[in-house]
Structure 1
Amino acid sequence: MNTDKILIAYDGSDNARRAVSYTAAMVGASARRHVDVVAIERPPDRDLFADDAAWKTECARRIAAMRTSLDEARDMLLADGVPEASVATRFVESCRSPLRDAEECSIGTSIALEILRLAEEGGYGTVVVGRRGVSKQEEFLFGSVSTKIIHAAKGLAVWVVA
């Protein structure tokens, strides 16, 4: 575990953007810290589309939007003074994606567990997540990524930004 390596779990939401801003404020212009912003693809349910073409079109639209959003997160960090050499972005495609072209992919069992896997493999000391803001009933029924990360994390700091 490297306390100078920070992984931001990013989904493009307002809370995720707040997590990026918070991280930038905490890291500042320190060149010794490294910040990776990672997004994990969540393909839409195939059953919601009339045919494969419509599903693939939506998957492509979502991938493009997330890559753009990751670039915006990177730009936010740079604008807040985090050195360019200290910032990286990463998009992890779903193994279920019809457009998959990467060697590494997420099997899609749990976004939270996937984030923790990436943190462990990358030797990160801190994981930063935005608080999703789901209702208590939704959190009880479905859970939330931030809650799951808090409960499953071992040996690293977790910052939950609201």
Structure 2
Amino acid sequence: MTILIAYDGSDDARAAIEYAARHVRPEPAVVMTVLEPLLTQISWAPLAAAAPAIAEPEPGDTFEEERQAERLARQGADLAAAGGLADVTTRAERGGGPVWAAIVDVADELDASLVVTGSRGLAGARSVILGSVSTRVLHHAGRPVLVVPPPKGKD
């Protein structure tokens, strides 16, 4: 089986990797970063009618955002390996919709035994406005999900 760990470079995502490395039985793990450029976010948002078309790279070319997502995934994989997870690989995905949907899709593709994600700990109106990736993954994954809360003392 495979553990899928969502990683965006935030302190919350780092805390999730560190927690998983300490508490989850070692098995192969995939650290995933979802590339969600602003224009992609706009294209699936209600204001999409006003959005310009999104350019696609030529075959063999990559956008800087893709290289950054790959670097983030590698950073997360290094954290996971340093924490004791074995056989850690990376995955950078270009989201065509919300981040949570990309995570759920990859979890399905990998038949992940567990999905690990951090939580920003937002509540009330801030959660409604900014959305909650971890909550949506939890409700749509159809498999075990470990949501790690923010580190204590975080504002």
Q: TM-score, normalised by structure 2?
A: 0.73
Bigger Cα displacement from structure 2, 128-137 vs 34-43: 128-137
Instruction: Count the aligned residue pairs.
Output: 132
Which residue matches 2:102?
114
Q: Residues 2-151 of structure 1 correspond to what in structure 2 (within 5 A)?
A: 4-27=1-24, 30=26, 33-45=27-39, 60-83=63-86, 86-93=87-94, 106-108=95-97, 110-151=98-139
Judge conservation of contact 2:6–2:116 (CA < 8 Å) in 1: yes
CA RMSD, aligned part only? Answer: 2.6
Secondary structure at the counterpart of residue 45 of structure 1? helix
Equivalent AA in structure 2 for residue 16 of structure 1? A
Which residue matches 1:158?
145
In the alignment, the residues of structure 1 paired with residue 100 and residue 72 of structure 2 have an alpha-carbon distance, to the nearest angstrom, of 20
Secondary structure at the counterpart of residue 113 of structure 2? strand
% of aligned pairs identical? 32
Which ranges in structure 1 are unaligned for 5 or more consecutive residues? 48-55, 94-105
Determine which structure has the larger strand proportion and give its number. Answer: 1
Which ranges in structure 2 are unaligned for 5 or more consecutive residues? 43-56, 150-155
Residue by residue over 1:53-111, the C-alpha shift from the partner in whole angstroms, topping out at 9 and shown as x without a partner, is: xxx9xx9444333322222211112212223xx11100012xxxxxxxxxxxx322x21
Secondary structure at the counterpart of residue 124 of structure 1? coil
CA gap 1:134/1:63 in 2 versus in 1, 3 angstroms: farther
Q: TM-score, normalised by structure 1?
A: 0.70
In the alignment, the residues of structure 1 paired with residue 74 and residue 119 of structure 2 have an alpha-carbon distance, to the nearest angstrom, of 21
